[in-house]
Chains A and B, each alone.
Chain A
Amino acid sequence: MTTFLTYTILGLVLGAVYSIAASGLVLTYNTSGIFNFAHGAQAMFGTFLYWQFQQWGWPAWLALVAVIGVVGPAMGAALHTVIMKGLRGTADVTKIIVTVAVLLGTVYLAQWVWDPDEARTVDMFFGTGAKISVGGVEVRYHELVCLAAAVAIAAGLRVLFTRTRAGVVMRGSVDDPDLLRLNGHDPERAAMLSWALGSTLAVTAGVLIVPISGGALDADQLTLLVIDAFAAAMFGRLRSIPRTFAGAMVLGLAANYVLAYLPSAGTFTGNLRVSLPMIILFVVLVVLPQDRLRGAAVRTRERYRPPTVRSAAVWGAVLIAGVYLYSLLLSDSGITTFALGMTFAIIALSLTVLTGYAGELNLAPLSFGAVATVVAFHFGVHGTGLDARLNVQGILLAVVAAALVGGLVALPALRLRGLYLALATLAFGEFLSNMVLRDTTEHKLFGIKFTLFPGGSLVVPPLRIGPLDLRDGTSSLMTATVLFALIGIGLAALRSSGYGRRLAAMKDSPAATAMLGQNLVRLKLSVFMISAAIAGLGGVLMASATGTVAQENFTFVGSLGLLMLVVVAGIGYISGALAGGLMAGVGSAVLVATFNDLALGHESMANVYTALGHLVLVMTALVGMGVGRNPSGFVHDIADSYRSLRGARPVLYGGGAVGAVLYVLAVTGVIGAWTFAIAALCVVMLLPVVGRMVMEERGSRETPLELAGVDEPYTDELRGKLDRALGLPAAHRPARPAPALRGEANAPA
């Protein structure tokens, strides 16, 4: 009985904190229409500051007042003003990506400021000793504070939303901001207020939850801990505060009862407890009633030009040739890293088809890679030691498994809006990470003994198909490149087929597509399975290029980073997948590693180089936050600028020549491979600029008459020209400025 009571109280306390975090999420979602994936990261950042203030010798109460009274609101208001305000009228995908970028940026920043290798703890309010006894069970003051705060906040929000003017304005600001404006309210102020409040609630939850879950402060862990509150918010369908509150309690209690009553031997129970919120999130998704089909709520600003199969094939050949030529310049380790990047690019292609073509989201692409890797490891390896190899059957099986698991994960969410599919994938990613990739105990099922993830890491050997052995770095790189090109061409063909048109139609207007007789669930399911299969293939190749993989290779943060980089590059484009994947696989890894090496090599400059390494990560997240302004990605801009170069052949030839010279210099060893890569990139970027300058010098472009006066001052010469074009007797008009146009022309002579 005491056990029951103890865990019930602990469960209610945990539920109370979940409810605080979840209500903040519901609040911002309802006033701005943005589901804030960065909610947990905000909580984390506030809690780290709370810790920091105390390190500076502030008393706990002052630190608390500072983070809840100042840091929380300021962070929310700033987020709204700088970023979220600009997201009105963008696609749901863009909104989600921007908050994901905020999440990543905040985590990177926290890891920069507070070295993750140092241990930090946050204490309970009034210390762990301050407690009272309820029915023989000790309850700490801190826990009482959690309960009281949750009740007060829930009641306060309920009153705010239903009784006060400010709350009603908040609710209206997502439905129809223009109408609010007409009624004399300021929807932006209401939205800002709600962001400030939401952020404060997040910080409050963060400060409360760390002491009750062990006290250790870790950026990644804390961010995920608050994400668990997503499940509670789902109970209230992201709308109802009381139901969110109830959901949070269920979640808190369930987590503690699991701990109390399941056997604690092995890793299973602990893993289950950690992933329980995500399992519950998934279950709630299954039972949620179907959404009303909606039309294109927003006229998206994204523009994509799908490639023809022919041009995709040509570019594929160019890519293969280019990668081969470049690989000749690289050292063995460089080739290995490059091959790894190429496998990330293949995973990125899974996002191109899913998000770029069909407008759906997968927040855990790496997790499907992990599924495939586990399957390939168990069923596709033959030989041992250095002779161990993956076989083709194993990879095929792995790809099929990834597709099937993908279908299972997506199915419950497909009746719902895109956001829910994103959440389902998130839940799956967390579940897999905790339950499968940490499952090192032996299971017995139908008399067969097996261990899912023996020893916590898998050694995935290279693939061998007949004479082709990927142990050799170059053949591994070239195989990945050829596969990327083939899948890319396949996707181009898919996009220009009837199936691709149906995907585009569904992305643009689900309601209109359904009215053509299209079963949307079936279409979404098929495209999600295709996407998961591609992610699976890329994942196996990635694992085998890495050699030994562990849970850390398939994390949530890794998946989000890849997704964000692909969106920044251009998620509708195959080249966007290439650029985004390479940046995720090679780019940041190499840059950060390089800076670290430099820091080790030049001790006097160590600080500068380490800072630069961190800066690179934070900068990429900053670029991600700006994606609302340019949702088509930078690949789109580059392609556009090259299109305008068509008239300037000599510039293109010149660029090619410079490239060839650079390459010869690199092959002969005059410049290094890195110098070559950077110089070549510069040439690619600068070419359109040079081209524009050259074309302007030629002056072949003449402003069309109807635009005269728009881009340049309206001169008398232009006026004369216009008059002539209109057949007016202009020759003897006195050369006089504007007034002539206004009255005199009509005045009697």
Chain B
Amino acid sequence: MPLLETRDITVRFGGNTAVDGVGLTMDEGRITGLIGPNGAGKTTMFNTITGLQKPASGQVLLDGADITGLSPAKRARRGMARTFQRLELFLSLSVRDNVRVAGDVLRSAGRKRFDVDEATDKVLERTGLTDIAGRDVSDIPIGRARVVEVARALMTSPRVLLLDEPASGQTERETEAFAEMLAGLAGEGLAICLVEHDLPLVMRLCSTIHVLDYGELIASGTPQEVRESPKVIAAYIGTEEAVS
């Protein structure tokens, strides 16, 4: 059984159908890719999975349980975490406090024995942010700001991690370290879903890739299968006629 599953999700904005009957799965210990051209509905899918967007129809299942009606906070407490494409960092807090506040939330929600400081240090170390821990989060380069979002999400000890374009704005070297970290996290059993425009990165990391186009799922499968799908090729570079 997949850890996270969406069934037949449809999302409408007024008369515009942004996502049309999409079913996805994500497995424990695997990195799943979600790709597609701009406006394909990737972020809308993330918003629906995390509860920020109400679907017109369809279900979201976590570990077999229907969580479609739950609030974002309740989903988070069940082990869902995400980053945002448009960065949503807490601008009045330092890098360290951005990460630590996730621990503060956990503690306030009942984990009394939880040592927030120690856990924060661990996550900062793991994500390679220790050197800028004291900096204002608005002063750091965008590539590293994206890592802060990942660190903050990791601080909630999630089971499912949804990453919305985490590598955009990163330098090549940063992306390299980032890919290594993701592989390591998946190795520990985390289910990761990656929305990303850096296709080589997606092809290298993901075991399964879902492709969206105009709100519809046009292909799902291994990187090899997806790469050879005529529909995917058409969506990304246009059909033969369109090109000529």
Interface set of A (CB-CB < 8 Å, partner B): 292-293, 295-296, 299-300, 303-304, 498-499, 501-502, 504-505, 507-509, 511-520
- Contact residues, B129-155 vs A (CB, 8 A): 152-153, 155
Q: Digit string of B49-70 for contact with A (CB within 8 Å is 1, else 0)?
A: 0101110000000000000000
A516-B88 in contact given A292-B52, A501-B93, A511-B72 (Cβ < 8 Å):
no
Q: Which of B50, B72, B88, B97 contacts A501 (CB 8 A)?
A: B97
Q: Does B239 contact A (CB under 8 A)?
A: no
Complex alpha-carbon distance, A508 and B92, angstroms: 7
Interface pair A502/B88, CB less than 8 Å apart:
no
Kindly provide the distance from the CB of A305 to the nearest chain B CB, expressed in whole angstroms. 9
Of the listed residues B74, B92, B104, B107, the one surrounded by the most CB atoms of chain A closer than 10 A to its CB is: B92
- Assess the B105–A516 pair: CB atoms within 8 A: yes
Most buried by B among A300, A304, A501, A502: A501
Q: Give the chain A neighbours of B108 by CB distance below 8 A.
A: 498-499, 502, 518
Q: State whether A516 touches B102 (Cβ < 8 A).
A: yes
A179 vs chain B, min Cβ distance (A): 14
Q: A300-B91, A517-B77 are in contact. Are A502 and B52 (CB under 8 A)?
A: no
Give me the 10 closest cross-chain CB pairs, A-B, nearest first: A498-B104, A517-B76, A512-B88, A508-B90, A514-B72, A509-B88, A501-B101, A517-B77, A505-B90, A516-B102
Establish whether residues B90 and A504, one from each chain, have CB atoms under 8 Å apart when the complex forms: yes
Nearest CB in chain B: distance from A50 CB, A:
42
Q: In the complex the two chains form, is A508's CB within 8 Å of B156's CB?
A: no
Cβ of A300: which chain B residues have Cβ within 8 Å of it? 91
The answer to whether A514 touches B91, judged by C-beta atoms less than 8 angstroms apart, is: no
Cβ of B109 within 8 Å of any chain A Cβ, yes or no, is yes
Residue in A502, A509, A515, A518 whose beta carbon sits within 8 Å of that of B89 in the complex = A509
Separation of A300 and B90 alpha carbons in the complex (Å): 11
Give the complex CA separation of A550 and B77 in angstroms: 49
**Range of interface residues on B (Cβ < 8 Å):** 35 or more
Bound: A499/B101 CA distance, A: 9
A502 touches B91 (CB 8 A): no
> Does B73 lie at the interface of the complex (its beta carbon under 8 Å from any beta carbon of A)?
yes
Beta-carbon contact of B107 and A498 below 8 Å: yes
B31-56 at interface with A (beta carbon < 8 Å): 50, 52-54
For this complex, 16 residue pairs linking A to B, each with C-beta atoms less than 8 Å apart, are: A296-B88, A498-B101, A498-B107, A499-B108, A501-B93, A501-B100, A505-B93, A512-B84, A514-B76, A516-B81, A516-B102, A516-B105, A516-B152, A517-B106, A518-B105, A520-B73
In the complex, given contacts A293-B72, A498-B101, A516-B101, what are 17 additional A-B residue pairs having Cβ atoms less than 8 angstroms apart? Answer: A292-B54, A295-B84, A501-B93, A502-B105, A504-B90, A504-B97, A504-B101, A505-B93, A508-B91, A511-B72, A512-B90, A516-B76, A516-B105, A517-B73, A517-B105, A517-B106, A519-B73
Contact with A along B144-184 (1 / 0, CB 8 A): 00000000110110000000000000000000000000000
Residue of B nearest to A514 (CB): B72
Complexed CA–CA distance, A499 and B86 (Å): 26
Tell whether B71 is near chain A: CB-to-CB under 8 Å. Answer: yes
A514 and B104 contact, CB distance less than 8 A = no
CB contact list, B107-132 vs A, under 8 A: 107-109, 116
Q: Are A515 and B81 in contact (CB under 8 A)?
A: yes
**Given A499-B108, A501-B93, A518–B86 Cβ distance below 8 Å?**
no
B82 contacts A by Cβ under 8 Å: yes
A292 to B71, CA, bound (A): 11
The residues of B that contact A518 with a CB separation of less than 8 Å are: 73, 76, 105, 108-109
A511 lies within 8 A of B92 (CB): no
**Complex CA distance for A515 and B75, rounded to whole angstroms:** 8
Residues of B near A519 (CB, < 8 A) are 71, 73, 109
> What residue of chain B has the Cβ atom nearest to residue A359's Cβ?
B92
Most buried by A among B72, B102, B156: B72
B72 touches A515 (CB 8 A): yes
What residue of chain B has the Cβ atom nearest to residue A508's Cβ? B90
CB pair A507–B73 under 8 Å, yes or no, is no
> CA–CA, A292 to B48, complex, Å?
12
On whether the beta carbons of A502 and B104 are closer than 8 Å, the reply is: yes
Instruction: State the Cβ distance, A527 to closest chain B Cβ, in Å.
Output: 13
A516 touching B86, Cβ below 8 Å: no
Cα-based distance from A299 to B84 in the complex (angstroms) = 15
Contacting pair A507 B105 (CB below 8 A): no
Name the residue in B53, B100, B109, B116 with the highest tally of chain A Cβ atoms < 10 Å from its Cβ.
Answer: B109
Question: How far, in Å, is B187 (CB) from chain A's closest CB?
Answer: 24
Contacts of A505 in B (CB 8 A): 90, 93, 101
A509 CA to B82 CA, complexed, in Å: 14
Distance of B169 from chain A, by nearest CB (Å): 16
Q: Of all chain B residues, which has the CB nearest A506?
A: B90
**What is the CA–CA distance of A501 and B156 in the complex, to the nearest angstrom?**
15
The smallest beta-carbon distance between B14 and chain A, in angstroms, is 12
**Smallest Cβ distance from A64 to chain B, in angstroms?**
41
Give the Cβ gap from A389 to chain B, nearest Cβ, in Å: 40
